[in-house]
Structure 1
Amino acid sequence: MSTPTLALVGLSQTERSMLFEQITALDPDAVAPLERARFGGAPGWLVSDAALARTVLTNGIGVKSRPAASQFKLGGVGARQGREVRSLKRELLLALGSLAEQEDLVHKHVAAALGAREGVLPTGLTEALTSATISLVTGTAPGSVDQTGLRNQVMQTWTLIEDANATGSRHDAFYIYLRGLLSASGSTFLSSLEARGWRREQIAEELRAMILAGWGSTAAAITSAISLGVAADLRGAFVLDEVLRLYPPSFMIGRTVAESRRGLPFERGEILLISPWLIHRSSRGWRAPLDFDPERWKDRRPGTPRWFLPFGLGPRRCPAARFARTQAQVTGSLLCTVRRPDRTEVVLLENRSPALVPAAR
C-alpha cells in the first residue's frame, strides 16, 4: 500500500497565503519528519526535521526553487551559483556586521524613520524599518527616504519579478533609485565592500535584492514582540530568539533537488519544502513548543542539535541576520510603550513573514 501524498499549493508569491494556511493547519507532531508531497502538481517532500533540514541546506543538494527567470530578475548573491556564493556572502556578513556593531547609529536612523509614531504601532512599520536600513546603509541622512514611494517601488518590482510573462531587469527603476543614493554617499557598509573590490553597481544590485527578500521580516518580529508584550525586553537573554522561534521570518524555505545522494530518497528536480514553522513547533526539538518561554534556552546543553533556523542555514543563510537582530532590539526599545493587544491572531505579514498581530475587531 503506497504512502499518501500531502497535497499542497505551489510556492509562488501569489500562492503564499494559501500555502501558509495549509502549513499552519498541520500538526507539527503528526507530520512525518520527511513527508511526500505535491506542490501544485510538482512532486517533492515536506521537511520538518532539523537534521534533514541541515543536510539539505548545507550540503549543496538543492538550489533555490524560485523559477530561474524570477531568480534572475531578483538578482544579488541569491542568483549566483557555485563557490563564489560563499565568499560573497562572507563579505556581506562582514559589511552588515559592521553596521550591527553601531547600535547608536542604528537607533538614530530607526528613530528618524518612525518619527512621531514612536509609542504607537505604525501601520507602515515595514517601510519605516526598510527606509531606516536604506539611509543607514547608503550613508544618507536619517529620515530622508520617502517611505510611501519606497513601498510603491517595492510592490511594482515584485510584480515584475513574479510575472512570468514580463521580461524585467535587475537594473530597473528601484535599482536606479538605490544606485543614485550610493553615488554621493558613504558608510562603513560601503567602505567594507569597496575595500573587497565591490563596485557600486554591484552593491546597488545586492542592496536591491536584500531589501526585496527581507521586506517585512523585521517588522513581523517587532509586531509579534509587541503582541506578546515583550518589545521592551528584546535585549534580554533569549527573548528575541523565542519570538523568532514561534514566529520565524519565513515559514518555508524552498529548494529544488540538483543532485541525488546515496541514503536520501530525493530525485533530481523534486521540490524540498523546509518548514521552520513546523520545525520550531515540534516536540521532537522543544518541550512545550507552543509556549512562549525564553527560559527554555538556558536548559539547552552545548552540542545539542538546534531545531532553530529563523534565517536559514548554510551558504545561503540570510547575511543580514545579525543586523536584523540589532535593528529589532533598537525598534523594540522605541516602541516599548505600545500597549499589548487584548486579542491577537496569526497572519502572514507582507505575504511572507508570520506574525502575531492585534486581532481585527
Structure 2
Amino acid sequence: MISDFRSDNVAPPRAEFLDAALHNCAGWMDAYGEDGITAALEDMFAGIFEHDVAAFPILTGTAANALALAQLSDRFGQILCHRSSHIYLDECGAVEFNNPGVRLKPIDGDAGKLDVAHCMRALGASDDVHQLRSTALSISQATETGTCYSAGEVQGLAAFARKHGMAVHMDGTRFGNVVAASEASPAELTWRSGVDVLCLGATKSGAIGAEVVLFFDRDQARDFRRLMKRSGHLPSRIWFLAAQLQACFQEDLWLDSARHSNAMAARLRTALETSYGIVPHHPVQTNMVFLRLDRATCDRLRGQGFSFYTVEDEKDGMLARLVTSHATQASDVDHLAEAIGRAVRDTI
C-alpha cells in the first residue's frame, strides 16, 4: 500500500524509461548532443506539436526554466509570473542567477492562474529609465494549484504579452496532465496560442530525470546550446536524456502516465465529496488535490503513516497538498480518503 502523496517526483521511474536509457548505454555515441537519438527528437516533437521545433534535452525543470527565460529576457528585463509559480517560490533564484539583472515580478490571480487585468497592473513603464522593462510572461501549465489554462486563456495572455513586447514562456513540467485533461491539442495549448518556448517535463511522467526545452521559432533558440554549456547543463552523454524522452513521447507514455495520475486525483476527490462531504479547496483538474485541513488533522494522518506537504498562502491559509502519480493505485487512494474522513470526523 502506497501512502506517500508528497509529489509525483517521489514515485519510482517507469520501467520503460529505464529500459530505454540502459539499452542505449551499450553502444558508442557522439557526445554533447551530436548523436542520432538527440537529433531525432526534433522530428518527433515536430509531429506531436505540428510545427517545426528546436529541441534541447536538459536534466532538470529548474535548469530548463532558468535557461529558457535567460534566452528570452535581456539584462534589464522583468518577467511577469504568478506569485505561486515554481520559478518564483521553489527554484532558489535560478532565473535571476542565470541572467544577472533580470527580476521576477510576482502577480496575484485566482487558483494559481494569471489574468490580463493583474498583468496590466504589474506591467511598468518600458520607457522609464528608473524601471525594468517587462520582457517575458511566464505561464505555469499546470499551475501550482493543479488547475489548467484553456487554449483561449493562453491565447489571451499571449496576445497581451505581444502587444507589450513580451515573449511567452510556459513551464510545462506537468504539461502532460493538462493535455490529458483538455480537449485541446499540444499545438493549440502552445504555439498556436502564442507560446514561444515550452519547458516540457518527462520526470514527473516517470523518467529518471529528463526535460526538454522546445523553441517554436529557431531564431529564438540561437546559441542556446552555448548557454547550456556555460551554465554547466550540456552533459556529454546527452543521449541518456534523449533516450528517455524518445521512450516517453514516441510511445505516448507521457499521456498514459498523465491520464492515470489525473484519474487517481479525480477518484480521491469523488470519494471525499460523496462519502465524507469534504470539498477540495481548488478545482481538481490534474493530479493535485488541495484540502483545508487543520494541523491536528494533518498530524493525525501523518501519525498513521501518510506523507504529504502542506502549503502556506497569505490568501488561502494552510492547505494540505496531495499529489497522485503514474504509480498510485486505486486502493491507495481509497485508503487515503477513508483515513482523511476518519481524521476529520475525530477532530470535530
**Which category describes the TM-score, using the shorter chain as reference length?**
under 0.3
When you count strand as a share of all residues, which structure comes out higher? 2
Q: Structure 1 length normalisation: TM-score?
A: 0.27
